[in-house]
Amino acid sequence: MAHTLYRIVKNDPPTQEDFLSHAELGKVPREPTADLLERWHATSMYSEKRFAQALARQRPNLGRYVATVQIEDGAPFRIRQTGRREHYDVWGDANELLSRVVAIEQAENETVY
């Protein structure tokens, strides 16, 4: 099934670094459980743009922009809903995710490209 997901990013235009997992960024989890360690290798995304925008406004350290990512059927990703119903983890190559960005907006809802 094709997915449209939303990623909070720091850059406009987004870069590969905006789509790296915590593990790829060299971050270490505080309380490493088996599930958390698996998810540490995924990229966190959201199924609802308004949720990603609200979170970006609340936590600007995550980024000031929201990238719209369209993932077609058969794309080389594993996608799983985790945590809140709006939250998804996506496993796959950061450059492959970056290549699927179709729009980016500031968290304040202002379209920038």
Residues in the chain: 113
Task: List residues bridging with 104 in a β-sheet.
Answer: 67
**Are 16 and 98 in contact, with CB atoms under 8 Å apart?**
yes
Could you report the per-residue pLDDT of 66-91, keeping only the tens digit for each? 999 999 999 999 999 998 889 999 99
Could you report the per-residue pLDDT of 5-58, keeping only the tens digit for each? 999 999 999 999 999 999 999 998 888 888 888 899 999 999 999 999 999 999
Could you report the per-residue pLDDT of 90-109, keeping only the tens digit for each? 999 999 999 999 999 999 75
Domains of the chain are 3-106 (3.20.170)
Considering only CA atoms, give the Rg of the chain: 13
What pLDDT shows up at residue 31?
A: 85
